[in-house]
Every structure is written in structure tokens, then in C-alpha cells.
Amino acid sequence: MTKVRFLEHGVEIDVPVGTSLLKAAKISGAPEGDACGGVCACSTCHVYVETGADLLAPAEEDEEDILDKAFDVRMNSRLGCQAKILREGVIELRISKESLDAYYNEHPDVKRPR
């Protein structure tokens, strides 16, 4: 199992190898957006992998093309739908503002913390 920590949200979950960061967010209730349903067609699941990037499958060309259109892209940016866990360990990440905005727009019934 791999431990995935959503920093700033107090959410932590153990998931099996092969799980995407987006699926870990959905299972744990972390507020990560996914307007396209996780098919690498938008950037609303944009996250910053702070530690454990080496535990993830490398970004492929499709993911990099979508990230080219995302906001506030950094060296540690990944799309949660494409970042699949390859090995056990600990992954710590932050959800981008773009993704948080998308999540709360997609879930108007969920109150956004201030």
C-alpha cells in the first residue's frame, strides 16, 4: 500500500499500487476537481507532488500537453488522473487553486473552507 497525503486538507489514505492520485482523492474525500471525468482532457485535477514523485509513473506526452494549458504550472505539477502509483511509499501533494476552484464549482453543495 502507498500512503497519499493531501497536504493542507488533513486527508491521508492508504491505496494500492496502480491507483491514480485522482482516485485516491475521490476515495478519501479530498477536494480535487475532475471536470472531464479523469480522461486527460482538461487540467482540473492539477496537483503539485511535494514528495514521492519517484513512486509515480512518468508523465506522458498527453499529460504534458494538457499541463501546457493549465494555470500556475510548476516543476512538480501532475494531473491527478494520469499520475498512477507504481511503488509503495509515501506521496505528499497539494491541490492546485485551479483544481480546488473546479471541485467547488462541480460540488456546489459542499461548503468551501475560508
Its domain, for residue 36, covers 2-106
What's the CA gap between 105 and 102, in Å, rounded? 5
Domain count, the chain: 1
Q: Is residue 114 part of a domain?
A: no
Task: Give φ, ψ of 45 to 5 degrees.
Answer: -105, 25
Q: Is residue 111 part of a domain?
A: no
Q: pLDDT per residue over 43-85, tens digit each? A: 999 999 999 999 999 999 999 999 999 999 999 999 999 999 9
Do the beta carbons of residue 63 and residue 78 sit within 8 Å? yes
Q: Is residue 112 part of a domain?
A: no
Q: pLDDT per residue over 88-110, tens digit each? A: 999 999 999 999 999 999 999 99
Q: Looking up cell 479530498, which residue turns up?
A: 30
Given a cut of 80, whether residue 114 has pLDDT beyond it is: no
Q: Is residue 81 part of a domain?
A: yes
Q: Is residue 76 part of a domain?
A: yes
Q: What is the pTM of this model?
A: 0.96
> Given this model, what pLDDT does residue 113 score?
85
CATH of the domain at 53: 3.10.20.30
